[in-house]
A = this chain, B = another copy of it.
Amino acid sequence: MVDQPDTKTEVRFDCTGTATGKMRNDLDVRMVKPWAETFTLATDEGPFHGGDATAPPPLALFVGGLVGCLMTQIRAFAKRLRITVHALQVDARIRWEWTPEPNKLYSTAPKGFELDITLDSDADETRVKELIAAAKRGCFLEQTLGRANVITHRLKTADGWTDV
């Protein structure tokens, strides 16, 4: 176990995605703060987008990451709160709305995020609920989805980076 920081700390992930196959993206993901680790991932698409299905689609990574993040937080905080976890399962239903636009384009919007938690513990229900409340506060992705985030984009041009 690594000791956790006792002051506010930045957690930063960088990623370089490179388009390789017809629709495959190879993704070099690097945790750079507070310490360095690297992870090699990929996404691809199936017949709908004309891909070769050599890797899961981006939404599968997202859904798995969200569920995994809450589960990590529940088990990590259970240790700290001395709550036993004999077994843990989370069932999620994540929904979006897909709206066709002219020229065969489309827009998308999120519709619902439902997470059902099955936790086998010796602790009483009150303590388990405290654990889940703490896990929600500690879950990076739950906290991210709960607010309107600004995503900034830059495009490389002959004159340098331009905001898009």
Q: Which residues of A does B touch, CB under 8 Å? A: 1-2, 4-19, 23, 25, 27, 29, 31, 33-34, 37, 39, 41-43, 45-50, 56-69, 71-72, 75-77, 79-81, 85, 87-101, 103-119, 125, 128-129, 132-134, 136-157, 161, 164
Contact = CB atoms under 8 A, between A and B. Distances in A.
A75 B19 contact: yes
Nearest to A89: B18
Contact of A151 (B8, B16, B95, B115): B115
B93 A12 contact: yes
Contacts of A153: 115-117, 132, 136
A64 B29 contact: yes
Contacts of A79: 50
Contact of A161 (B48, B72, B103, B116): B116
B59 A61 contact: no
Contacts of A19: 71, 75, 85, 87-89
B96 A11 contact: yes
B13 A68 contact: no
